[in-house]
Amino acid sequence: MFDRSTQSYYTPVNQPNGVPSGKKTDPDLTWADTPPYNSTESFGASLTAAYELDNHLTLKSVTAWRGLEGPIYYDNDGVTAIKGDSYAGFSQRQLTQEFNLNGEYDRFNFVAGLYFFYEKFFNNRLNQATASRTDDIGSVSRIRNTLRTWSYAAFGQLNYKVTDALTATVGARYTVDRRKYVSFVGNSVGVQLHNPTEWNFDPDVYEAQYGPYQSTFTARPDPKNFSNFTPKLGLQYQWAPDIFQYASYSKGFKSGSFDLRSASLLGSTVPFEPQVITTYETGLKTRFLHDRVIANIAVYYNDISDFQVRATSPATPTQPAFNGVLNAGDGVSKGVELELSIAPIDGLRIDTSGSYTKTLYKSFTATLPANVPGRTTLLGLEFPLAPKWQSSVAINYTLPIATPGKWRIGADAQYESRRFVDIYNTAQTKVRAQTFVNGTINYAGEDGSWNAGVAVKNIFDLRRGQAGGYSPNNAGSQVNYYRAYNEPRTVNIFINKTF
């Protein structure tokens, strides 16, 4: 895969060019100081082999290799002044091997396996950030690090039919991750910042032209092992042919590591710890009237330990910008999800869904860096990117027209309540409640091998900032206030043919 798409998608909220004028923000205007720069390539191969030992047992092997190469330059402000620009060059290789034994018997089935993963990731970054009230004067951080990961796991799951109606599930996985890390970092503060076209998007050229850095260090922490046992227990009961209930208990493990974006000695030598989630869930799935009505409900509770969050801090005249992963403490997310699908008449299908999610921190044990809202704790705040309410509806109708094929019209809408984009719940970058509406009309041939039509995305051309940043201090002559907006109304004309 070759990707040369633009990375300059940030729009300054204050226009023109980041200067407050009282005018409404045009989401399609950017004053990014660099041309789009992206030269990403990814590649891979996999081999799957299966052998039937007998009528019940199958041995399976999955081998895969993948790689990723390429530099990207981000203009993280959308203005001509350099306020928060980043060059990211990377080279990644990974190899995975998995062996599975699958069994199928009258009253039970199972899977057991072994898993191995190896990855080498080289990270080559150059970050520039304004650190005063003067444009293009700030901090520079050059980060070159390599992270090697070895991961080993053994896993298994068994489903047993206790009775014709009751099925029990038991499963477990034991994982051991080993991380080996080395990082070379150079920092300078209170220096002139330079447009990447002046150094040809090459950090080595930057270093030769504008170096040396005021401070440098090499971090070689001891390799770190992370391990975890994650069980799963479940029950499924068929109350009636069209009514099914399940309940489950399980644990999930998000491994610890070293932070590849850290420009500080502490952040480069002290790893963040694993995040563990314990999940309790129960749900009911039902079908009625020959599948004309389908109704499902699920209720869940997630208990999160050592919650991993990414904290940021703007640069100052004496300190470079901070961007690092912290273990914030313990948290909870809980909620309910509903689905309803009905077919009141032939050719018409209406699908709806809704969910409510509540998030909160139970305890907070980290030390936050200086931040714009002045937060010293996350207690009382919501998780980022976690709207409380979400709902959707989709209506599809096959027109009763006497033609060889089928004409179909459809419309759908998705709603979500307001959400925050960062851990600090910064008000300036909050995403307000939003609803997107889409529609389509298409024709499918009689044999179903081809179809054509028109699809319209975001019919009402709603534009909202879906991400962004706000830094009023040490951001040059004007505040650094930018957003990334969703796509405008898009019309697609399509023809599909299956051979």
* Spatial separation of the C-alpha atoms in residues 90 and 125, rounded to whole Å: 8
Beta strands in 241-370 (DSSP E): 243-254, 275-288, 293-305, 308-313, 322-327, 329-342, 348-364
* Spatial separation of the C-alpha atoms in residues 377 and 398, rounded to whole Å: 54
* Spatial separation of the C-alpha atoms in residues 182 and 145, rounded to whole Å: 6
Backbone angles phi, psi at 173, to 5 degrees: -145, 135
Q: What angle do CA 489, 407, 347 make, to 5 degrees?
A: 105
Q: In Å, how far are 308, 353, 415, 431, 459 from 435, measured between CA atoms?
A: 30, 14, 4, 12, 11
Res 153: pLDDT: 98
Structure tokens at 266: 């502490």
Res 172: pLDDT: 98
**241 CB-contact burial (10 Å; exposed 0-12 / middle 13-18 / buried 19+):** exposed
Backbone angles phi, psi at 371, to 5 degrees: -140, 165
* Spatial separation of the C-alpha atoms in residues 1 and 61, rounded to whole Å: 26
Domain boundaries, the chain: 2-390
* Spatial separation of the C-alpha atoms in residues 308 and 328, rounded to whole Å: 6
Res 387: pLDDT: 97
Structure tokens at 478: 């004007």
Q: Which CATH architecture has domain 2-390?
A: Beta Barrel (2.40)
Structure tokens at 171: 């499963």
Structure tokens at 42: 């990814």
Regarding beta strands 275-288 and 243-254, do their DSSP bridges make them parallel or antiparallel, or are they unpaired?
Answer: antiparallel
DSSP per residue, 88-133 = EEEEEEEEEEEEEEEEE-SSEEEEEEEEEEEEEEEEEEEEEEE-SS
Q: What is the pLDDT along the chain (499 residues), one digit of tens a residue?
A: 999 887 667 899 999 999 999 899 999 999 988 887 899 999 999 999 999 999 999 999 999 999 999 999 989 899 999 999 999 999 999 999 999 999 999 999 999 999 999 999 999 999 999 999 999 999 999 999 999 999 999 999 999 999 999 999 999 999 999 999 999 999 999 999 999 999 999 999 999 999 899 999 999 999 999 999 999 999 999 999 999 999 999 999 999 999 999 999 999 999 999 999 999 999 999 999 988 999 999 999 999 999 999 999 988 888 888 889 999 999 999 999 999 999 999 999 999 999 999 999 999 999 999 999 999 999 999 999 999 999 999 999 999 988 888 999 999 999 999 999 999 999 999 999 999 999 999 999 988 899 999 999 999 999 999 999 999 999 999 999 999 999 999 999 999 999 8
* Spatial separation of the C-alpha atoms in residues 288 and 45, rounded to whole Å: 45
Whether 444 and 494 have beta carbons less than 8 Å apart is answered as: no
Residue recorded with tokens 């998000």: 254
* Spatial separation of the C-alpha atoms in residues 477 and 13, rounded to whole Å: 15
Res 8: pLDDT: 63
Res 395: pLDDT: 98
Secondary structure (3-state) at 470: strand
* Spatial separation of the C-alpha atoms in residues 405 and 445, rounded to whole Å: 4
